[in-house]
Amino acid sequence: MLVNFLKTSAAGAVLALATSAPAYAVELEFYFPVAVGGAAADTIEALTAEYTAAHPDVSINAIYAGSYNDASTKAVTAARGGNAPQLSVLLSTEMFTLMDEDLIEPFDAYLTDAEQADWIGGFYPAFMQNSQTGGKTWGIPFQRSTPVMYWNKEAFAEAGLNPDVAPANWDELLTASKALTKKDGAGNVTQWGLRIPSAGFPYWLFQGLSTPAGAILANAEGNKTNFDDPKVARALEFLVDLSKEHAVMAEGSIDWGATPKAFFEGESAIIWTSTGNLTNIRTNAPFDFGVGFLPADERYGAPTGGGNFYLFKDSTEEQKDAAVDFVQWITAPEQAATWSIATGYVAPRADAWETDAMKAYVAEVPAALVTRDHLEHAVAELSTYENARVTSFLNDALAAAIAGEKSPQDALADAQAQAEAVLKSYR
């Protein structure tokens, strides 16, 4: 109802503004990736319109730019061509690349000391790991997430498992997955126990294994990786064995995008996917389901994910001031709560969870608290200089090991050598 109200109010405001045809004092362009599921585009449209209705001297042209990759390509291409947007929501992992290309600037110069303490200091520390470096804040968390585990409670009960208790560690995950894997009379699998996507964002879901195994894939400065750590190899061995040795997960590449549908249709009893799919799963799952932390090995752990606001430097000072004000407004508690409720992404600040709207939401959807509490165990998503290249080395290693073309140790050693050749010049 809140989104409908905002959209109705916004429509009236836009009509009134169009009728009077004002000369805007400040015009902003805002690139936003709409291919993120849920009600993201509608909610961004409503919130942007609400802001401009309250700030009639500011015009915000929201450019819906497709996927994260599409949005990044369009924003960077525009910036290189001298026509940069003032703001973009791009992956948090783009931080080092955008810095390296000298396309963005930190938010710090546009904030008072009080705003540094109250606003910047109010975001969850886990999200700031991919937002700050060198003592400066280069990104503002907004569309943020972690991977979590969803399980089909009906399937658990049918398999003789407690439907209200999630597997807490790798041993319990394997035991449950074996009980949940079903075959027909001809030996064909009709329900997989587990589905961990390995195509789409393979490194991200893999961090849900390497982090519990006790490994950190890259340093905070973005110039060194640890792909050949024996703990990373242990995680990859476990992932490969789930299909090849234990037969609780389909062999080969497992698609990211089809994972929620596989859950809805009973193809997989346990899936790993983003907290950002919570609203999608709530809407479409025809059964009761649970949401839990990714299972522990040495520890609990998962990477953060999702998008940050970035401030592009090729703008006037007036535009930058207005852009920072908009980002402060849209990440404030009430707006952050509206965004989280509509999409399932994690509200990135603790004060958003204290709003009346969020309290009512979590009373109805307690699973949302799991996604928030998961942050206590979260680490930075893999991010380095020349991030696309370095990440591709790890993705290729994962694919080679999953396909049986290389051992986990050999695949990871090759990836580390490739990454080192790229990153050594940044140290």
22 pLDDT above the threshold of 60: no
Question: Scanning the structure block, which residue is given the tokens 């849900």?
Answer: 208
The predicted model gives 162-166 an average pLDDT of: 97
Q: What is the pLDDT of residues 55-110, one digit of tens each?
A: 999 999 888 888 888 999 999 999 999 999 999 999 999 999 999 999 999 999 99
The reported pLDDT for the residue numbered 23 is: 53
Q: Which pLDDT score, from 0 to 100, does residue 24 have?
A: 67
- Asked whether the beta carbons of 58 and 326 are under 8 A apart, the reply is yes
CB atoms within 10 A of CB 57: 13
- Tell me which amino acid residue 205 is: L
What's residue 64's pLDDT? Answer: 83
**What does the pLDDT average to over 382-404?**
97
When divided into structural domains, the chain yields a total of 2
236 and 351 assigned to the same domain: no
Q: At what angle are helices 40-54 and 2-20 packed, to 10 degrees?
A: 50
Tokens 């902003």 belong to residue: 28
* Token reading at 300: 């609990």
The model's pLDDT over 30-61, given as tens digits with 9 standing for 90+, comes to 898 875 444 678 888 899 999 999 999 999 98
Tell me what percent of the residues of the chain surpass a pLDDT of 90.
85
Q: What is the pLDDT of residue 3?
A: 39
Q: What angle do CA 250, 251, 255 make, to 5 degrees?
A: 70
Supply the CATH number for residue 290's domain: 3.40.190.10
Give the HSE-up count for residue 207: Cα atoms under 13 Å, Cβ half-sphere.
Answer: 26
- Mark whether 216 and 256 lie in a shared domain: yes
132 forms beta bridges with: 137
Torsional class of 19: left (φ above 0), alpha (ψ -120 to 50), beta (otherwise): alpha
Taking 60 as the threshold, does the pLDDT of residue 197 lie above it?
yes
Residue in the structure block whose two tokens are 């075959």:
183
Question: Euclidean distance between the first and final Cα of the chain, in Å?
Answer: 52
Cα 258-190-240 angle, rounded to 5 deg: 65
CA 416 – CA 179 distance, rounded (Å): 37
H helices present in 81-189, as ranges: 95-100, 113-118, 125-128, 153-158, 170-180
The whole-number pLDDT of residue 21 equals: 44
Of 362, 379, 396, the residue at which a domain comes to its end is 379
- Rounded mean pLDDT, 301-311: 96
Residues 154 and 55 in one domain: no
Question: Are 220 and 256 contained in the same domain?
Answer: yes
For residue 292, give the nearest of 182, 146, 192, 191 by alpha carbon.
146
Domain that holds residue 102: 2-145+305-379
Residue 200 is predicted with a pLDDT of 87
* pLDDT attached to residue 427: 92
d(CA 315, CA 339): 27
| 6 lies in the same domain as 68 | yes
pLDDT for res 16: 42
Residue 141's beta-bridge partner residues?
308
Average pLDDT, the chain: 92
Q: DSSP string spanning 169-205?
A: BHHHHHHHHHHH-EE-TTS-EEEEEEE---BSSHHHH
Which pLDDT score, from 0 to 100, does residue 67 have? 85
At 388 the pLDDT is: 93
User: Residue 185 has what pLDDT?
Assistant: 94
Task: For residue 182, list its beta bridge partners.
Answer: 191
Interval 121-141 mean pLDDT: 96
pLDDT at res. 35: 55
Res 6 pLDDT > 60: no
Provide the pLDDT for residue 68. Answer: 87
Q: Say yes or no: 12 and 100 in one domain.
A: yes
SS3 category, 208? helix
Coil, helix or strand for 149?
strand
Claim to verify: residue 202 and residue 273 sit in the same structural domain: yes
Q: What is the pLDDT of residues 205-247, one digit of tens each?
A: 999 999 999 999 999 999 999 999 999 999 999 999 999 999 9
Bridge-based pairing of strands 26-32 and 87-91 is parallel
Residue that is last in its domain, among 379, 394, 409:
379
In this structure, are 125 and 257 located in the same domain? no
190 and 295 housed in the same domain = yes
pLDDT in tens, 349-373: 999 999 999 999 999 999 999 989 9
**Band of residue 9 on the pLDDT scale cut at 50, 70, 90:** very low
For residue 159, give both structure tokens: 């398999």
Same domain assignment for residues 12 and 104: yes
Q: Which amino acid is at 328?
A: Q
Residue % of the chain over a pLDDT of 70: 93
Domain end point (choices 379, 398, 418): 379
In a shared domain, residues 213 and 122: no
Structure confidence at residue 73 (pLDDT): 92
Residue 338 has pLDDT above 90, yes or no: yes
Please give the model's pTM, rounded to 2 decimal places: 0.89
**Are 138 and 152 in the same domain?**
no
